[in-house]
Structure 1
Amino acid sequence: MNDMAKTTPYGSWRSPIDAALAAAHDGHPAFVGFVGDEVWWTEPRPAEGGRRALVRRRPDGSEESVLPAPWNVRSRVIEYGGLPWAAAARPGEPRGPLVVFADFTDQRLYAHEPDVPEAEPRPLTPLSGVGGGLRFADPRVHADRGEVWCVLEEFTGDAPTDVRRVVVAVPLDGSAAEDRSGLRELSDGRHRFVTGPRLSPDGTRAAWLAWDHPRMPWDGTELLVADVGADGTFAAAQVLAGGPTESIAQADWAHDGRLLYSSDRSGWWNLYRAEPDGTASALCPREEEFGGPLWQLGLNWFAPLDSGLIAVVHGTGATALGVLDPETGEVVDAAGPWSEWSASLAVHGTRVAGIAASPRSAYEVVELDTRTGRARVIGAAHDDPVDPTYYPEPQIRTFLGPSGHEIHAHIYPPHHPGHVAPGGELPPYVVWAHGGPTSRAPLVLDLAIAYFTSRGIGVAEVNYSGSTGYGRAYRNRLREQWGIADVDDCAAVALALADEGTADRARLAIRGGSAGGWTAAASLTTTDVYACGTIIYPVLDLASWQDGQTHDFESRYLETLVGPYAEVPGRYEERSPARHADRITAPFLLLQGLDDVVCLPAQCELLLTRMQRRGVPHAYIAFEGEGTGSGARTP
């Protein structure tokens, strides 16, 4: 601390981290892949209309956008999207690589040859005027077959649940660009949700994941395998693993032709290998996660190397990048400062590329050389926008909930190099409830948190019951308890901070977006813990989800979070904040995107109508053209 630090009250410290700076650094690189020797990834471009650019790292270390603005490489499948691009390196081909991508504007698949002068992207798939149209995600280019295999999401009517999903083969020659019948369906359409298929090294078998309502993918999925005929058609699919109570997060083929998959059958997502005799071998049985929730299609927590080793993202709470020897079960982690690795890995020879962050750095593209064990940043390198002495210094804490259960949280005390508070003053604290709710708050640098801490306001990120990263039992604590367990856990952390003398009991607040907005709103209607709250694009009325007022992916989510509506309709009424606005006595700010198809603006309007003439200070800000936001770390 600076000896010349000013003594000023908490909450009044002047900071160079303002809202504009925090917003400019929202979002991070994603979906990394190798194209020959080059590493490619997507990254946000706030100054270019918020588009997602596809970026390549040239052999000389320079970075360049593969596509100019306004091309926006982003899929809308299941609304949260998924892997939006794939490429074939085509060594020896003078025209260079061929990339296939989904454009956000019309959701068509396009093919592009970026090394061909004056080349323009050409469409591979048609438009549809029905409902949400045709959407594509999780592509795999099979240049030798003249096709790209991917997931097709096809709307059959105007309702958000009028939709089917199948695995399709899209011709690379553009013959299906205006003809829906040119998309060759590979899966049989029996399942509501599918992921993209992975073709075995010898080209004779394909594996993919599927699940059906009312399950979410972290509840139960099936690993399907089918023989692939010489003409590229799939034989009848067989279930290899998974089921209603077993979640398979990812499957892929090892180079020896054996199938690898991440399953939580033990209570933790661990890595398994399907043996020739039909049995499954646990490759590294641990009380750690080697998988996670499939909020997007095409996520991957492991990637097989040519050597037989497997690159893995694993951990409890925080995650690390390691290299697993499947014969011994030994994992050797990459050295470095990173505490969080995204579910995006790519391998090429002995190289592993991933996306990682730490409490002192935002997400960066990192490459590990498995021969030397050296990991280094190769793309989207973190560049401090302010003096890093303004960054918060987080603490990993565990608290006890009302029933004595553990609650995991990250505590960010107020921190400023030039300010201290008067002796005896306790700081205000804001509890942050993450989105999902089947998600978690990662331990990474977030300038939105630094905005508060550098002003003298502490932040407590609570990975409440139901959060991922701590095993299936921890996730299952939220089953039928949404609006209770999450609210209780957040309150328990806030009150514990006050009781131990860390936070001012009279100046506790709560903030959250999407599912976290629900927790924030429910906290204001059911507790007296908080002096105020911020509710961001929230879920406020559970009954509306039963009326087809949300998207298909989460349309049955509440059956596990709250209970079957037909059996417990009163529970939906009792827990909905919009139905109990009369219980809110604390001031609040309500933010909403008017184009949000997940958490609808109508729910905010219902709450506001019931707040009229109650005399509780509140404000509502609606954003034209905004959908589901990312600021609450929703998936």
Structure 2
Amino acid sequence: MQQGRLFAVREDLRGKEHWRGIAEIPTDGSAADDDSAAWVSHYGSGFYAHPSLSPDGTRLAYVQWTEQRMPWEHARVAVVHLESGSLTPVPCRAALQPEWLSDDELLYADDATGRWNLHLARIAEDTPPPAQTPPATTEPFLLADADTGGALWVLGTRWYAVLDDGRIVAVRTNGGDAVVLIDPAAGTERRLELPATAEVSIDDVSGSRVLISGAGAEVSRGLWFVDVDSDEVTAIRGGEPADPGWCPPARAVTFDGPHGAVHAFDYRPANPDATAPDGELPPYIVMVHGGPTSHVSGAASDAYAYWTSRGIGVLDVNYGGSTGYGRAYRKRLDGQWGVVDVDDVIAAAQGLAEAGVADPARIAIKGGSAGGWTVLSALVRGGAFAAGISRYGVADLRMLASDTHDFEKHYLNGLVGPLPEAEAVYIARSPLTHADRIDVPVLLLQGADDKVVPPSQSEAIRDALAARGVPHEYVLYPGEGHGFRRAETIVSSLQTELRFLGTTFGFEPRL
């Protein structure tokens, strides 16, 4: 809701062609009966986000990208004049979150500098059709060696906000998150001392107060009010301190890999009631996040404490292709999915063992979806991991390309290559093609109703392992799709994983 008017991203999926755009929804409820929400953008088969109304109510800015690209590859800001319908393009690369500073000045995030930084666009006066409105002029506004922005997987995340007096509160991501208060007029900035250090969103502002959500290295996920003048921080919900005896903060670590530095977060075992035998190195799980264009930030995690409290360390890897370290790091994965990610998780595991932190004979690897792909691909490569856990992991790239949804329809074009030209690469990279190379125990967890990665992919890996007598388990959860949601499934899957590692690594697990 902006100035009493409601704008929303609208989708019409009723026909063979799917249409999307920005619509204004009447606030009197009339759209519930006659579908009278009016398109205000040039709608089409692409995607839209972040509608923002100018102070005088005459223009609407929004982010748009085509279905052939992902938003972190290329997304633009457009400005539509609501009366004339004329459109002003804003030159940009991978734009996010337009916010108006005045009736003709627009702030937005873009990674044209190699980092998502704030840029300023000056919007020309409206030129009614058929004349063409000239493009906006743009310039960098605030530059930093950190990201104010991220991968636009979901709508609603906000990386900055402008206060009434022109000061700006912004997230800066470089591995973890920091929140800074910027005064452009004075040319100053300072970091706000907050418990939130991961997955931070600047949700709203009022006067000098800022509403912030996120997670922290030492607290649970929460919602806070922050007064930027008094520095008073008030917890609204969540944000409970984590017990360092059971859940010590993650350490940011970096390893040398064949493609450059590999960033990760290390959660070492901790249990105030138990100690390891003298001289014994702990087993570890190398965690591989999904996406793959995504990011982990070292937040406190009950799921990870489940492992660390039982003497098993966790290494959470931001392999090449992850966000949070700039465009160059993210683009390492272009055309190299199944190569760079695998090289990086192997380098991280080997680096951890060489540092004397983990038992090299007891390092497992675990991931779901795209992370499961990397798990299976690393096991095919062999030599680094003593066991693997794949949750609904991708095993066959061609099947993924045919089954995926609209948003990711062309995602694999950038990660692997376009079909049919790159079909040979799809076959060569798929773990299913080389499942006969896997020679360590594997646990496969799968949702029976998964439409993104159907059970047939996990079952094909299972059958290949069974044919060669490789130790394995396959667990199918009825009623679960792509990602486990039910509490009983989440509990069962963790206990199954612990029993599996206990059997593989030779210890008696305490569930």
TM-score w.r.t. the length of structure 2 is 0.88
**Among residues 356, 360, 366, which one is paired with 2:224 in the alignment?**
366
Contact 1:313 1:322 in 2 (8 A): yes
CA distance in 2, matches of 1:601, 1:238: 47
Tell me the residue number matched to 1:495. 350
CA contact (8 A) 1:592 1:623 kept: yes
State the shift of 1:339 in Å: 2.1
**What is the CA–CA distance in structure 1 between the aligned matches of 2:386 and 2:237, rounded to whole Å?**
43
Aligned to 1:74: none
The structure richer in helix per residue is: 2
What is the correspondence of 1:392-403 to structure 2 with a 5 Å cutoff? Answer: 392-403=248-259
Question: In structure 1, what is the equivalent of residue 457 of structure 2?
Answer: 603
Partner of 2:247: 391
Distance 1:610 1:157 in 2: 41
SS in 2 for 1:378: strand
User: CA separation of 1:334/1:452 partners in 2, compared to 1, >3 Å: closer, same or farther?
Assistant: same
**Aligned position for 2:128:** none
* Equivalent position SS for 2:390: strand
CA contact (8 A) 1:289 1:471 kept: yes
Question: Aligned partners of 1:462, 1:394: CA distance in 2, in Å?
Answer: 12
Counterpart residue number, 1:539: 394
Query: Counterparts of 2:186 and 2:337 in 1: how far apart (Å)?
Result: 41
Distance in 1 (alpha carbons) for counterparts of 2:157 and 2:195: 23
Task: Determine the structure 2 residue equivalent to 1:43.
Answer: none
Q: CA deviation at 1:152?
A: 1.4
CA–CA distance in structure 2, aligned partners of residues 343 and 580 of structure 1: 42
Contact 2:61 2:98 (8 Å CA) reproduced: yes
**Counterpart of 2:32?**
177
Asked whether the equivalents of residues 578 and 607 of structure 1 are also in contact (C-alpha less than 8 Å), the reply is: yes
Partner residue of 1:251 out of 98, 102, 127: 98
Is 2:415 the partner of 1:561?
yes
- Cα offset for 1:590? 1.3
- 1:402-453 Cα distance to aligned partner (Å, 9 max, x none): 24x1111111121111222222222111100111111111111101111111
Residues 437-489 of structure 1, C-alpha deviation per residue, up to 9 Å, x if partnerless?
11111111101111111111111111110111100000000101111101110
3-state SS of 1:225 partner: strand
Q: Which of 149, 164, 167 lines up with 1:309 in the alignment?
A: 167
Equivalent pair of 2:379/2:438 in contact (CA under 8 Å): yes
Pick closer, same or farther for the CA change 1:213–1:197 going to 2, 3 Å: same
Following superposition, the deviation at residue 308 of structure 1 comes to 0.8
- 2:373–2:393 CA contact under 8 A, matched in 1: yes
Q: Distance in 1 between matches of 2:230 and 2:102?
A: 22
Counterpart contact for 2:199–2:297, Cα < 8 Å:
no
User: Residues 194 and 208 of structure 1 are in contact (CA less than 8 Å); yes or no, is this contact kept in structure 2?
Assistant: yes
Describe the shift of the 1:440–1:630 C-alpha distance in structure 2 as closer, same or farther (beyond 3 A): farther
Q: Aligned-pair distance for 1:595?
A: 3.2
1:235 aligns to 2:85 (yes or no) = yes
Counterparts of residues 34-433 of structure 1 (less than 5 Å): 140=1, 143=4, 148-157=6-15, 162-180=17-35, 182-190=36-44, 192-229=46-83, 235-242=85-92, 246-254=93-101, 258-275=105-122, 278-382=136-240, 388-403=244-259, 405-433=260-288
SS of aligned partner of 2:330: helix
Alignment counterpart, residue 428 of structure 2, candidates 574, 593, 597: 574
Are residues 393 and 315 of structure 1, via their aligned partners in 2, closer, same or farther at CA, if it must alter by over 3 Å?
Answer: closer
Which amino acid in structure 2 is aligned with residue 152 of structure 1?
Answer: R
Deviations along 1:364-420, one digit per CA (max 9) or x if unpaired, are: 111111221222322234265xx54111342111110024x1111111121111222
- Give 1:532 shift: 0.7
* Residue 474 of structure 1 pairs with residue 324 of structure 2: no
Aligned length: 475
1:486 aligns with 2:336: no
The unaligned stretches of length 5 or more in structure 2 are 125-135, 491-511
**Shift, 1:585, TM fit:** 1.4
CA contact (8 A) 2:466 2:472 kept: no
Which residue identity is paired with 2:165?
S
Cα pair 2:170 2:202 within 8 Å, conserved = no
Q: In structure 2, give the amino acid aligned to 1:464.
A: Y
TM-score by length of 1: 0.71
- The Cα of 1:593 is off from its aligned counterpart by 2.2
Match of 2:350, SS state, is: helix
CA distance in 2, matches of 1:315, 1:374: 23
Name the counterpart of 1:447.
302
Alpha carbons 1:202, 1:257 under 8 Å: kept:
no
CA 1:532–1:443 in structure 2 vs 1: closer, same or farther (change >3 Å)?
same
Q: For residues 42-61 of structure 1, give each alpha carbon's deviation from its aligned partner in whole angstroms, at most 9, with x where no partner exists.
A: xxxxxxxxxxxxxxxxxxxx
Q: Measure, in 2, the Cα distance between the counterparts of 1:529 and 1:298.
A: 39
Percent of aligned pairs sharing the same letter = 41
Q: 1:168 to 1:325 in 2, by over 3 A?
A: same
Q: How does 1:507-526 map to 2 (within 5 A)?
A: 507-526=362-381
Question: Which amino acid in structure 2 is aligned with residue 236 of structure 1?
Answer: S
Over residues 216-245 of structure 1, what are the superposed CA-to-partner deviations in whole Å (9 max), with x where a residue is unaligned?
00011011001112xxxx613221122xxx
What is the rounded CA distance, in whole Å, between the counterparts of 1:329 and 1:569 in structure 2? Answer: 53
Q: Is the CA contact (8 Å cut-off) linking 2:400 and 2:452 kept in structure 1?
A: no
Q: Amino acid of the residue matched to residue 412 of structure 2?
A: L
Contact 1:598 1:628 in 2 (8 A): yes
- Tell me if structure 2 keeps the 8 A contact 1:309–1:325: yes
Aligned with 1:251: secondary structure?
A: strand
In 2: Cα distance, 1:364 partner to 1:471 partner: 26
Q: Is the 8 A contact 1:255 1:308 kept in 2?
A: no
Cα RMSD of the aligned pairs, angstroms, is 2.1
CA distance in 1, matches of 2:399, 2:199: 36
Deviations 1:122-146 (CA, angstroms, capped at 9, x unpaired): xxxxxxxxxxxxxxxxxx3663x5x
- CA offset digits 1:50-77 (Å, max 9, x no partner): xxxxxxxxxxxxxxxxxxxxxxxxxxxx
Instruction: Give the partner amino acid of 2:370.
Output: A
Q: What amino acid maps onto 2:69 in structure 1?
A: R
The aligned counterpart of 2:472 is 618
- Asked if the contact 1:578/1:604 (under 8 Å) is kept, the reply is no
| Structure 1 residue 520 displacement after superposition | 0.9
CA contact (8 A) 2:217 2:299 kept: yes
Would you say the 8 A contact 1:218–1:249 is kept in 2?
A: no
C-alpha displacement at 1:325, in angstroms? 1.6
User: Equivalents in 2 of 1:356, 1:187: separation in Å?
Assistant: 32
Residues 534-586 of structure 1: per-residue CA shift (max 9 Å, x gap): 11122221101332x11111111001111112222111011111232212211
SS at match of 1:546: helix
Q: Distance in 1 between matches of 2:123 and 2:381?
A: 55
State the secondary structure of the residue aligned to 1:197.
strand
**1:99-153 C-alpha deviation (Å, 9 max, x unpaired):** xxxxxxxxxxxxxxxxxxxxxxxxxxxxxxxxxxxxxxxxx3663x5xx321112
Q: 1:163, CA displacement in angstroms?
A: 2.2
Residue identity matched to 2:51:
P
| 1:617 CA displacement | 1.7
Structure 2 CA distance, aligned partners of 1:347 and 1:399?
A: 39
Report how far residue 533 of structure 1 moved.
1.0
Describe the SS at the equivalent of 1:336. coil
